[in-house]
A and B are shown apart, each in its own frame.
Chain A
Amino acid sequence: MTVFIESSNIISSLGFTTKENYKNVCSGVSGLKRYVDSPFSDVPLQASIIDQDRLQLESAELTVNKGYTKFEQICILSVFKALQNSAVDIKSPRTILILSTTKGNIELLADAGAFSPDRVYLWKAANVIAGFFAASNTPLIVSNACISGLSAMLLAKRLIASKKYDHAVVVGADVISKFIVSGFQSFMSLSPLPCKPFDEKRDGLSLGEAAATVVISNKSAQSFTEIVNGSINNDANHISGPSRTGEGLLAAISHTLGGEGVDLISAHGTATPYNDNMEAVAISRAGLNQTPVNSLKGYFGHTLGAAGLLESIISIEAMKNNTIIKTMGFDTIGVTEPITIVNITSHQNINSVLKLASGFGGCNAAVLLKKI
């Protein structure tokens, strides 16, 4: 059965709609800024952070400005906006809501304030979000490190293809917190400058926060994108470092493409030395050296549980507009394999995009999206 992406939304530092985000990316605008006095860090922090005033304003319109955490607010706003452009009914028993996140309301662990401390449980936060929309089904939650977003999209595709549901609303989100920032700092993974994916001078990632939603359906009322296939594979190598041979990612790419080519690869491209090199090795081993590869982390930072969805949405817009988006922050190739990193935004016919992601725990995911 063919499974379609009906509509989408992104809430990030670059805007509150898919269109606004895409327009900014095409104009070469990055959401990354240097925060000197950040509540999340003792040292200056490069991050992509959602405009708080605008969030409050838009939240007030939906009356989610009080009684909801920031994480819940951005999820609710994003789902609401994605559904506005879609015929899918979130209240239907044939629709499933899927939440993708790594840390949800984790900042409540330090100080729950007026919120009930159990909101830190991901199932509780998901129930709050589902409750706002009066969804019929208990929401599903995927928490699989940095591949959560792609895993959630693939889960939706699989559940619809096997006829368990007809539609899925998949929202991925994470918000920046001291918990997350200090953790990446403890790993020495954050760059002091905006991240430089695949570049010879890359020295770490930049964090971002976002909510991204895709509405997925077995009908193609207004869709121009099909979720063709996908695969998840573990490296079985190390819990905090990727496999040097790209084993798991190569398996995910091979299963997903099944020997076929693809017009564009939207890589995970976090700009850590190990991740980008591992991806280059896997892409090269898959025989895709000539295929254009980009990373969107230079625009949004690494948005964790939102990343796979957010980057898929931008890639879908790019496919619709036959545009290949440049890798912001990239200048000179700095990976061991000769792969083709996109360094100029240009118009080119693209009919398919392979989206990749990898994360802690040795997990790797690939999803193939096609224009219809």
Chain B
Amino acid sequence: MDVFKHIEIKEGSIYEDGVQIESFTDTDDFSAFAKYLYKQLEITYPKFYKMSNMSKLGFLATEFLLQNFEISDDEKCRVALALACKSSSLNTDTEYQKSIADVPSPALFVYTLPNIVTGEICIRNGFKGEEIMLVQEKFDREFMFQYAQILFDEGHTNLCVTGFIDYDENNIYFASLFLISNK
């Protein structure tokens, strides 16, 4: 198994293979931090602004993870997303819960599932391979890598984005994603 790159986002900083590449002074303001990272990417993707915090976090982490990494159209059906989180979609769930008393919002409801971030990443990158969203109290990297290996061994997967994407109801965020291949 080959690890091409590791991206970690936490406490107002982003790290590539352990080296800090961007940092932001106001570590508590995720929205401003997310907007800052989005600008650094120099991309145009208006859907980004509609996403939940968890989806923004996962989207940004994969954008940095896949920067300068070419994946052909044929290969895109062979990219798997094996992800885990701790808080599921609780951050959006709490927001949606508040909207029920007033007018329940479909735009919020759709984000009350943790695998929507998987969908967002697949839409952005055209990935049509395997996916799973697990919930873990603590990020179990070893398990996720073992699962990726099982997918590689089954023969329909060549590349795997695996790791942890968590955004909790207290606005604590943590993403740790790896791009790995079987070669």
Q: Give residues in A with beta carbon < 8 Å to B.
A: 102-103, 106, 109-110, 120-124, 126-127, 138, 140-145, 151, 155, 158-159, 161-162, 164, 178-179, 182-183, 185-187, 231-240, 247-248, 251, 255, 359-363
| A248–B156 alpha-carbon span in the complex (Å) | 14
Q: Are A121 and B88 in contact (CB under 8 A)?
A: yes
Tell me how far the C-beta of B99 lies from the nearest C-beta in chain A, rounded to whole angstroms: 9
Please tell me which one of the listed residues A123, A179, A240 contacts residue B97 in the complex, with CB atoms under 8 A apart. A179
Known: A140-B134, A183-B96, A239-B110. A361 touches B116 (CB 8 A): yes
B93-133 contacts to A, CB under 8 A, are 93-94, 96-97, 100, 103-106, 109-110, 112-116, 118-120, 122-123, 125-133
| A237–B126 alpha-carbon span in the complex (Å) | 8
Residue count of chain B within 8 Å CB distance of chain A: 47
A162-B150, A360-B110 given; 4 more Cβ-contact pairs under 8 Å: A138-B137, A155-B147, A186-B106, A360-B116
Residues in chain B near residue A102, CB distance under 8 A: 113
Known: A183-B109, A183-B112, A240-B110. A234 touches B131 (CB 8 A): yes
Q: Which 7 A-B pairs have the closest CB atoms?
A: A361-B119, A183-B109, A141-B135, A186-B104, A234-B122, A182-B104, A186-B106
Q: Are B96 and A179 in contact (CB under 8 A)?
A: yes
Interchain residue pairs with CB less than 8 A apart (20): A102-B113, A127-B137, A141-B136, A143-B114, A143-B134, A145-B113, A158-B147, A158-B154, A162-B150, A179-B100, A182-B109, A183-B96, A231-B156, A233-B131, A234-B131, A239-B116, A240-B106, A248-B128, A360-B113, A362-B123
Q: Are B104 and A106 in contact (CB under 8 A)?
A: no
Q: Are B150 and A362 in contact (CB under 8 A)?
A: no
Residues in chain A near residue B114, CB distance under 8 A: 143-144
Residues in chain A near residue B13, CB distance under 8 A: none
Q: Are B94 and A239 in contact (CB under 8 A)?
A: no
| A235–B94 alpha-carbon span in the complex (Å) | 28
| A238–B123 alpha-carbon span in the complex (Å) | 7
Q: Are A187 and B93 in contact (CB under 8 A)?
A: no
What number of A-B contacts does a CB cutoff of 8 Å give? 145
Please tell me which one of the listed residues A103, A142, A162, A248 contacts residue B133 in the complex, with CB atoms under 8 A apart. A142
| A159–B136 alpha-carbon span in the complex (Å) | 17
| A361–B113 alpha-carbon span in the complex (Å) | 8
Tell me how far the C-beta of A110 lies from the nearest C-beta in chain B, rounded to whole angstroms: 6
Residues in chain B near residue A109, CB distance under 8 A: 93-94, 97
Tell me how far the C-beta of B11 lies from the nearest C-beta in chain A, rounded to whole angstroms: 21
Residues in chain B near residue A234, CB distance under 8 A: 81, 118-119, 122, 127-129, 131
| A186–B108 alpha-carbon span in the complex (Å) | 10
B146 contacts chain A at the CB level, 8 A cutoff: yes
Known: A183-B109, A360-B119. A143 touches B131 (CB 8 A): no
Specify the chain A residue showing the minimal Cβ separation from B130.
A232
| A183–B125 alpha-carbon span in the complex (Å) | 28
| A106–B127 alpha-carbon span in the complex (Å) | 30
B153 contacts chain A at the CB level, 8 A cutoff: yes
B87 contacts chain A at the CB level, 8 A cutoff: yes
B86 contacts chain A at the CB level, 8 A cutoff: yes
| A144–B118 alpha-carbon span in the complex (Å) | 9
Known: A110-B97, A186-B104. A141 touches B131 (CB 8 A): no
